Each structure stands twice: as structure tokens, then as C-alpha cells.
């Protein structure tokens, strides 16, 4: 018996990164992680920085995503994000340079502090995913 699926689309401003049928998806929300199964009630979430995991009958897909929005409607999950990289596309050396630069960012105002925190989180997540592959 075939597993029930739903359609999953991962889209950046440049291109559609992934179009597949999925059995499970986990994405970073702004306040934790959200898991999606077939038949999920409609939802709209603000995404955070982190790992996107997509399980499909053809195999699993792992991405680094950088914020955006996730919408589930009528068994179709659409993830709109500024950046989506497969784990294999992550350049660990570049992520380590970005982390060093992020740690040197000024933190005089609340906005600068928030920008620094996002940059550090972005770089640390990419380093972690690069190590895991």
C-alpha cells in the first residue's frame, strides 16, 4: 500500500528549488519547528532560519532555509524563502567566514543587535549542516 502524500514546493526569488510529493516535511518556524503530514489543516507560518527536511517516496531532501513563509492549503505545502541551499551546496569555509564577520558586527542599537543575531544563526546553522553531511 502506497503512503499518502501531499505536494511540496520550495521557492526562492530566483527559482523553484523543489517540487515533489512528500510524506512528511519539517521546517523551522520563527519560534520552533513545525512538522507537516498529509491531510494537515490549513496553516500559515512565518519561517525561521534552519534546516528544512522533506521526506518523499523518491528519497529525502535536506536544505538550509533562510526565513520566509510556509502555507498549507488543500494538501499543498508552499514554502517561500529568501534562500534555500541543499546541504551539498553549503560552503563550510564561506559559512565560517560569515560567522566571523557576524560576530564582529556592531550592536549599538536594537536593530543592529537583531541583525547580528540573525547573521550568527544563519552562519552557525550552515556550519552545523555542512558538518552533518
Name the percent of the chain in helix, strand, coil, to the closest 5. Answer: 30, 45, 25
Per-residue pLDDT of the chain (133 residues; tens, 9 = 90+): 468 999 999 999 999 999 999 999 999 998 899 999 999 999 999 999 999 999 999 899 999 999 999 999 999 999 999 999 998 899 999 999 999 999 999 888 999 999 999 999 999 999 999 887 6
What is d(CA 40, CA 37) in angstroms, rounded to the nearest whole number?
Answer: 6
Number of residues that make up the chain: 133
What is d(CA 87, CA 61) in angstroms, rounded to the nearest whole number?
Answer: 9
Q: Give the gyration radius of the chain's Cα atoms.
A: 16
pTM score, two decimals?
0.87
Amino acid at each position: 500500500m502506497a503512503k499518502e502524500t501531499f505536494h511540496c514546493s520550495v521557492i526562492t526569488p530566483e527559482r523553484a528549488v523543489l517540487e515533489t510529493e512528500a510524506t512528511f516535511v519539517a521546517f523551522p518556524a520563527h519560534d520552533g519547528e513545525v512538522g507537516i503530514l498529509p491531510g494537515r489543516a490549513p496553516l500559515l507560518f512565518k519561517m525561521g532560519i534552519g534546516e528544512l527536511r522533506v521526506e518523499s517516496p523518491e528519497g529525502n531532501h535536506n536544505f538550509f532555509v533562510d526565513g520566509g513563509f510556509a502555507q498549507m492549503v488543500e494538501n499543498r505545502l508552499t514554502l517561500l524563502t529568501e534562500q534555500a541551499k541543499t546541504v551539498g551546496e553549503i560552503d563550510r569555509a564561506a559559512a565560517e567566514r560569515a560567522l566571523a564577520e557576524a560576530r564582529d558586527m556592531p550592536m549599538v542599537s536594537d536593530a543592529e543587535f537583531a541583525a547580528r543575531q540573525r547573521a550568527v544563526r544563519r552562519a552557525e546553522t550552515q556550519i552545523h549542516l555542512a558538518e552533518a553531511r
